[in-house]
Amino acid sequence: MEISKIIHIAIIIILTSFAIITKQLGKRKFYYVLKPLTLLLIIALPLLEFREEYSTYAYLIIIGLVFSLLGDLYLLFPEKYFTNGLYSFLAAHLLYILAFNQVINTYCYVLLVPIIVYIFIVAKYLKPKLGGMKYPVFGYILVISIMLFSALNMDYQFGQISFVGIGAVLFAISDTTLAFNKFYKKFSFAEPIILSTYFIAQLFFAMSI
Protein backbone atom coordinates (compact mmCIF):
# COMPACT_ATOMS: atom_id res chain seq x y z
CA MET A 1 0.00 0.00 0.00
CA GLU A 2 1.31 3.45 -0.94
CA ILE A 3 2.35 5.87 1.80
CA SER A 4 -0.13 8.49 0.56
CA LYS A 5 -2.98 5.99 0.90
CA ILE A 6 -1.86 5.00 4.40
CA ILE A 7 -1.81 8.68 5.42
CA HIS A 8 -5.26 9.18 3.86
CA ILE A 9 -6.68 6.24 5.84
CA ALA A 10 -4.98 7.47 9.05
CA ILE A 11 -6.63 10.89 8.61
CA ILE A 12 -10.03 9.19 8.18
CA ILE A 13 -9.50 7.23 11.40
CA ILE A 14 -8.44 10.38 13.28
CA LEU A 15 -11.48 12.31 12.01
CA THR A 16 -13.72 9.39 13.00
CA SER A 17 -12.31 9.60 16.53
CA PHE A 18 -12.88 13.37 16.66
CA ALA A 19 -16.44 12.94 15.34
CA ILE A 20 -17.18 10.46 18.14
CA ILE A 21 -15.62 12.72 20.78
CA THR A 22 -17.47 15.86 19.64
CA LYS A 23 -20.75 13.93 19.50
CA GLN A 24 -20.25 12.64 23.06
CA LEU A 25 -19.31 16.10 24.34
CA GLY A 26 -22.29 17.74 22.63
CA LYS A 27 -20.11 19.96 20.41
CA ARG A 28 -22.71 20.05 17.67
CA LYS A 29 -21.04 22.57 15.34
CA PHE A 30 -17.81 20.56 15.19
CA TYR A 31 -19.73 17.29 14.80
CA TYR A 32 -21.80 18.72 11.92
CA VAL A 33 -18.55 19.42 10.08
CA LEU A 34 -16.60 16.29 11.04
CA LYS A 35 -19.21 13.66 10.17
CA PRO A 36 -19.76 14.60 6.48
CA LEU A 37 -16.09 15.53 6.09
CA THR A 38 -15.04 12.04 7.19
CA LEU A 39 -17.30 10.40 4.62
CA LEU A 40 -16.13 12.81 1.91
CA LEU A 41 -12.57 11.63 2.55
CA ILE A 42 -13.75 8.03 2.36
CA ILE A 43 -15.40 8.75 -1.01
CA ALA A 44 -12.21 10.42 -2.19
CA LEU A 45 -10.07 7.38 -1.30
CA PRO A 46 -10.73 5.37 -4.51
CA LEU A 47 -11.17 8.48 -6.66
CA LEU A 48 -7.70 9.84 -5.87
CA GLU A 49 -6.11 6.78 -7.46
CA PHE A 50 -6.97 8.36 -10.84
CA ARG A 51 -7.57 5.08 -12.61
CA GLU A 52 -8.13 5.14 -16.36
CA GLU A 53 -11.20 2.99 -15.92
CA TYR A 54 -13.37 1.96 -12.99
CA SER A 55 -15.39 -1.26 -12.89
CA THR A 56 -19.18 -1.38 -12.54
CA TYR A 57 -18.56 -2.62 -9.00
CA ALA A 58 -16.49 0.49 -8.24
CA TYR A 59 -19.11 2.87 -9.63
CA LEU A 60 -21.90 1.24 -7.62
CA ILE A 61 -19.90 1.42 -4.39
CA ILE A 62 -18.94 5.06 -4.99
CA ILE A 63 -22.53 6.10 -5.77
CA GLY A 64 -23.63 4.16 -2.68
CA LEU A 65 -21.15 6.17 -0.61
CA VAL A 66 -22.56 9.39 -2.05
CA PHE A 67 -26.10 8.37 -1.01
CA SER A 68 -24.68 7.56 2.42
CA LEU A 69 -23.27 11.08 2.60
CA LEU A 70 -26.73 12.43 1.76
CA GLY A 71 -28.16 10.23 4.52
CA ASP A 72 -25.57 11.57 6.95
CA LEU A 73 -26.58 15.14 6.17
CA TYR A 74 -30.26 14.35 6.74
CA LEU A 75 -29.54 12.55 10.01
CA LEU A 76 -27.73 15.56 11.40
CA PHE A 77 -31.31 16.78 11.95
CA PRO A 78 -33.15 13.53 12.80
CA GLU A 79 -36.18 15.26 14.31
CA LYS A 80 -37.07 16.67 10.88
CA TYR A 81 -35.36 14.43 8.35
CA PHE A 82 -35.08 10.94 9.87
CA THR A 83 -37.26 9.40 7.14
CA ASN A 84 -35.25 11.17 4.41
CA GLY A 85 -32.06 9.78 5.93
CA LEU A 86 -33.59 6.32 6.11
CA TYR A 87 -34.47 6.35 2.41
CA SER A 88 -31.04 7.70 1.46
CA PHE A 89 -29.33 4.83 3.26
CA LEU A 90 -31.87 2.45 1.77
CA ALA A 91 -30.71 3.58 -1.69
CA ALA A 92 -27.07 3.18 -0.63
CA HIS A 93 -27.67 -0.39 0.54
CA LEU A 94 -29.47 -1.26 -2.71
CA LEU A 95 -26.43 -0.02 -4.63
CA TYR A 96 -24.12 -2.07 -2.39
CA ILE A 97 -26.30 -5.14 -3.03
CA LEU A 98 -26.01 -4.60 -6.79
CA ALA A 99 -22.26 -4.16 -6.45
CA PHE A 100 -21.68 -7.32 -4.41
CA ASN A 101 -23.86 -9.41 -6.71
CA GLN A 102 -21.77 -8.32 -9.70
CA VAL A 103 -19.16 -10.91 -8.73
CA ILE A 104 -21.27 -13.70 -7.17
CA ASN A 105 -21.87 -16.82 -9.24
CA THR A 106 -23.13 -19.14 -6.50
CA TYR A 107 -24.87 -18.68 -3.17
CA CYS A 108 -24.46 -20.46 0.16
CA TYR A 109 -27.97 -20.45 1.60
CA VAL A 110 -26.75 -21.74 4.97
CA LEU A 111 -25.61 -18.14 5.53
CA LEU A 112 -29.29 -17.19 5.71
CA VAL A 113 -29.69 -18.98 9.04
CA PRO A 114 -27.88 -16.43 11.28
CA ILE A 115 -29.39 -13.58 9.24
CA ILE A 116 -32.94 -14.88 9.76
CA VAL A 117 -32.20 -15.23 13.49
CA TYR A 118 -30.96 -11.61 13.47
CA ILE A 119 -34.18 -10.41 11.76
CA PHE A 120 -36.33 -12.35 14.23
CA ILE A 121 -34.56 -10.90 17.30
CA VAL A 122 -34.66 -7.32 15.99
CA ALA A 123 -38.33 -7.64 15.00
CA LYS A 124 -39.29 -9.11 18.39
CA TYR A 125 -37.87 -6.18 20.35
CA LEU A 126 -38.56 -3.28 17.99
CA LYS A 127 -42.03 -4.07 16.62
CA PRO A 128 -43.96 -2.84 19.71
CA LYS A 129 -41.97 0.42 19.71
CA LEU A 130 -42.14 1.51 16.07
CA GLY A 131 -45.68 2.79 15.66
CA GLY A 132 -46.08 4.46 12.27
CA MET A 133 -42.44 3.79 11.40
CA LYS A 134 -42.96 0.01 11.39
CA TYR A 135 -42.99 -0.54 7.62
CA PRO A 136 -40.08 1.80 6.70
CA VAL A 137 -37.89 0.37 9.48
CA PHE A 138 -38.65 -3.27 8.71
CA GLY A 139 -38.16 -2.60 5.00
CA TYR A 140 -34.78 -1.13 5.85
CA ILE A 141 -33.87 -4.11 8.06
CA LEU A 142 -34.78 -6.47 5.21
CA VAL A 143 -32.53 -4.56 2.78
CA ILE A 144 -29.65 -4.54 5.31
CA SER A 145 -30.07 -8.30 5.66
CA ILE A 146 -29.94 -8.81 1.88
CA MET A 147 -26.83 -6.61 1.73
CA LEU A 148 -25.23 -8.67 4.51
CA PHE A 149 -26.15 -11.95 2.79
CA SER A 150 -24.70 -10.68 -0.51
CA ALA A 151 -21.45 -9.53 1.13
CA LEU A 152 -20.96 -12.79 3.02
CA ASN A 153 -21.61 -14.75 -0.17
CA MET A 154 -18.98 -12.67 -1.95
CA ASP A 155 -16.47 -13.71 0.71
CA TYR A 156 -17.71 -17.31 0.61
CA GLN A 157 -17.23 -17.48 -3.16
CA PHE A 158 -13.62 -16.31 -2.93
CA GLY A 159 -12.91 -18.39 0.18
CA GLN A 160 -11.67 -15.51 2.31
CA ILE A 161 -12.68 -12.92 4.86
CA SER A 162 -12.46 -9.57 3.11
CA PHE A 163 -13.13 -5.87 3.65
CA VAL A 164 -16.59 -6.46 2.14
CA GLY A 165 -17.72 -9.14 4.59
CA ILE A 166 -16.33 -7.37 7.66
CA GLY A 167 -17.72 -4.03 6.47
CA ALA A 168 -21.21 -5.49 5.98
CA VAL A 169 -21.22 -7.00 9.49
CA LEU A 170 -20.08 -3.68 10.96
CA PHE A 171 -22.77 -1.81 9.01
CA ALA A 172 -25.43 -4.16 10.38
CA ILE A 173 -24.12 -3.57 13.92
CA SER A 174 -24.18 0.19 13.38
CA ASP A 175 -27.71 0.32 11.99
CA THR A 176 -29.08 -2.11 14.57
CA THR A 177 -27.58 -0.09 17.42
CA LEU A 178 -29.04 3.08 15.89
CA ALA A 179 -32.50 1.49 15.68
CA PHE A 180 -32.43 0.20 19.26
CA ASN A 181 -31.11 3.50 20.59
CA LYS A 182 -33.82 5.48 18.79
CA PHE A 183 -36.86 3.23 19.19
CA TYR A 184 -36.21 0.82 22.08
CA LYS A 185 -34.02 2.41 24.75
CA LYS A 186 -31.32 5.06 24.70
CA PHE A 187 -27.96 4.11 26.19
CA SER A 188 -24.91 6.28 26.82
CA PHE A 189 -22.38 4.51 24.61
CA ALA A 190 -24.66 4.08 21.60
CA GLU A 191 -23.08 6.86 19.54
CA PRO A 192 -19.47 5.60 19.76
CA ILE A 193 -20.66 2.16 18.63
CA ILE A 194 -22.82 3.59 15.84
CA LEU A 195 -20.19 5.96 14.48
CA SER A 196 -17.11 3.76 14.78
CA THR A 197 -18.72 0.74 13.10
CA TYR A 198 -20.37 2.93 10.47
CA PHE A 199 -17.24 4.76 9.36
CA ILE A 200 -15.07 1.64 9.41
CA ALA A 201 -17.70 -0.20 7.34
CA GLN A 202 -17.79 2.57 4.74
CA LEU A 203 -13.99 2.75 4.73
CA PHE A 204 -13.79 -1.00 4.12
CA PHE A 205 -16.28 -0.77 1.24
CA ALA A 206 -14.20 2.00 -0.33
CA MET A 207 -11.01 -0.04 0.15
CA SER A 208 -12.61 -3.02 -1.62
CA ILE A 209 -12.69 -1.10 -4.93
Which whole number is the average pLDDT over 167-196?
A: 92
CB atoms within 10 A of CB 42: 26
How many whole angstroms separate alpha carbon 142 and alpha carbon 129?
A: 18
Check residue 63 and give its pLDDT: 97
Within its chain, how far is the Cα of 164 from the centroid? 11
Check residue 32 and give its pLDDT: 95
pLDDT tens digits along 159-171: 888 999 999 999 9
Say if residue 4's pLDDT is above 90: no
How many whole angstroms separate alpha carbon 102 and alpha carbon 82?
A: 31
**What pTM value is reported for the model?**
0.91
What is the SS3 assignment for 52?
A: coil
How many whole angstroms separate alpha carbon 46 and alpha carbon 195?
A: 21
How many whole angstroms separate alpha carbon 127 and alpha carbon 123?
A: 5
Check residue 159 and give its pLDDT: 85
pLDDT tens digits along 21-72: 999 999 999 999 999 999 999 999 999 877 778 899 999 999 999 999 999 9
Say if residue 205's pLDDT is above 90: yes
What is the SS3 assignment for 41?
A: helix
